Amino acid sequence: MILPIITYPNKQLKVRSSEVTSFNESLHCFLDDMFETMISSNGIGLAAIQVANPIRALILCIPDDEGNQTKENLLEIINPSIHNPKGSTLYQEGCLSVPGFYEDVERYESLTLHYQNRHGDPCVLEASELLAIAIQHEIDHLDGKLFIEKLTYNRRKKFEKEYKKAQKEKK
Ligand code: QAP
Ligand code: CO
């Protein structure tokens, strides 16, 4: 089932999501719906809060060398924490909750991620490049933060102007 995606400036996106404690059938169905929703919207990452569920769960599916996004390279990340962040890098980010806007954001270059999978098993992952960036972007969602909040004052003003204009044109 494809779920509706909440977009800025909906206040729900500012909610801090809660730890997942039950790794049951309903969580598994929800994660499957998140995958279907993300793929149908041409996304590479989606946090549960973006589909109105305030739980600490996110999915990532970085396209392979042929540009394919299969369930084999799907990561389902629950109750994550970042360890040993290193370096810094700039990347032009976008977000399914901020459609049509992209801007450079500074992130750690590499990190170690501790998380649980859909069964509640503890997992550890070393991440760098786009995966490390995507992890940080999605974990920010779990803490109620959007990438546009990391822009400088002037870039943020540019965003507000462009975004409002685009929304008017949509109506
Ligand atoms: C987060 O973002 C991310 O504006 C995932 O019109 C971003 O999947 C991770 C998208 C940058 C790493 C680097 C955005 C699709 C998708 C749009 C997305 C749009 C259509 C964003
Ligand atoms: Co996002």
Pick from 13, 34, 44 the residue to mutate for probing ligand 1's pocket: most ligand atoms within 8 Å of its CB: 44
Residue of 76, 93, 103, 138 with catalytic role: 138
Kindly give the confidence (pLDDT) of every residue in the chain, 171 residues in length, as a single tens digit, with 9 standing for 90 and above.
999 999 999 999 999 999 999 999 999 999 999 999 999 999 999 999 999 999 999 999 999 999 999 999 999 999 999 999 999 999 999 999 999 999 999 999 999 999 999 999 999 999 999 999 999 999 999 999 999 999 999 999 999 999 999 998 987
Measure 137 CA to ligand 2 centroid, in angstroms. 6
Question: Is-catalytic flag, 138?
Answer: yes
Find the residues whose C-beta lies inside 6 A of ligand 1.
Answer: 41-45, 91, 93-96, 99-100, 130, 133-134, 137
Alpha helices in 5-55 (DSSP H): 25-40
Q: In what order do the strands lie in the sheet with 122-128?
A: 45-47, 57-61, 74-86, 110-116, 122-128
For the chain, how are helix, strand and coil distributed in percent, rounded to 5?
A: 35, 25, 35
Pick from 39, 93, 95 the residue to mutate for probing ligand 1's pocket: most ligand atoms within 8 Å of its CB: 95
pTM: predicted TM-score of the whole model, two decimal places: 0.98
Measure 104 CA to ligand 1 centroid, in angstroms. 12
Kindly state the helix (H) or strand (E) to which residue 162 belongs, with its residue range: helix 153-170
